[in-house]
Amino acid sequence: MQTPPILLENVSVSYGPHKALENISGTFQAGSLTAVAGPNGAGKSSLLKLIAGLVRPRKGRITLAPEMRDKIGYLPQSSAIARDYPLSVMQTVCIGFWPELGDIAAISSSHKKRALKALEQVDLAQMKDRQIGMLSGGQFQKLLFARLYLQDPQILLLDEPFASLDGETTARLIGILLDWHKKGKTIICVLHDLLLIKKYFPDSFLLAGKCLGTGHTHVLFEKNLLSFDLDMAEIIAPKEEKKG
């Protein structure tokens, strides 16, 4: 049996005394499109950082397929990205070439053409010379999608990529995400919006410090682990609720 690109075995992550994740197990199959859902503080961002290699497990093991280890693209929450650097839209999107060029190689005219094409896909080509500090929240998020596209990763990790965006921008970025999925990329996306999860994400991974459920999204809805009647900010494991 082929090893999945991402395998978690009883993984725990802590920040000092705070336990972010406890005994998490599961797999993410090649070409899957998975939503990670759960309340604030459930460990969703920590799960993405773990897969991206930004944090190490306190115990347990995470295994990445060898051919995938250098092909991971990570998009943190936009609020965590500084926008006060004096960079233009074109300069920022070209950072996506770093895995290909490293720190030394110069951006060629061919790279600039590819970068412009990526900006055209997110309707930002006309803003290529604008400073990123002048962009709206939606425009900046589209820029981050374009930069991620240029990285050409096989595993994409996105943390709340549609937060605070208007419907039109969300629809455009969802379209890009679905196109990546059609190309066989493995996508893991942290979301709070249950409507988006049910409509677009075949698989889900439900967290509340530990894994409450994983598998086909419609099955998790049938089991009421995901439900429009639940407040995602208050979902906790029943056994944990009774303690203390």
Domain boundaries, the chain: 1-71+154-244, 81-152
What's the mean pLDDT in 195-200?
94
Nearest to 144 by CA among 50, 53, 197, 81: 81
Please, what's the largest Cα pairwise distance for the chain?
63
Beta strand ranges found along 16-71 (DSSP E): 18-28, 33-37, 59-64
Give the global pTM: 0.87
Determine the pLDDT at residue 240.
40
Q: How confident is the model at residue 175 (pLDDT cuts 50, 70, 90)?
A: very high
Neighbours of 109 (CB within 10 A): 7
Torsional sign, CA 94, 79, 53, 174: negative
Residue bearing tokens 């900006």: 119
Determine the pLDDT at residue 104.
60
Determine the pLDDT at residue 20.
93
The CATH number that domain 1-71+154-244 falls under is 3.40.50.300
Does residue 40 surpass a pLDDT of 90?
no
Interior/surface letters 6-29, b for 16+ CB within 10 angstroms, e for the rest: bbbeebbbeeeeebbbbebebebe
Do residues 150 and 107 touch, judged by C-beta distance below 8 A? no
Determine the pLDDT at residue 147.
92
d(CA 241, CA 175): 38
Residue bearing tokens 């995901």: 226
Determine the pLDDT at residue 241.
38
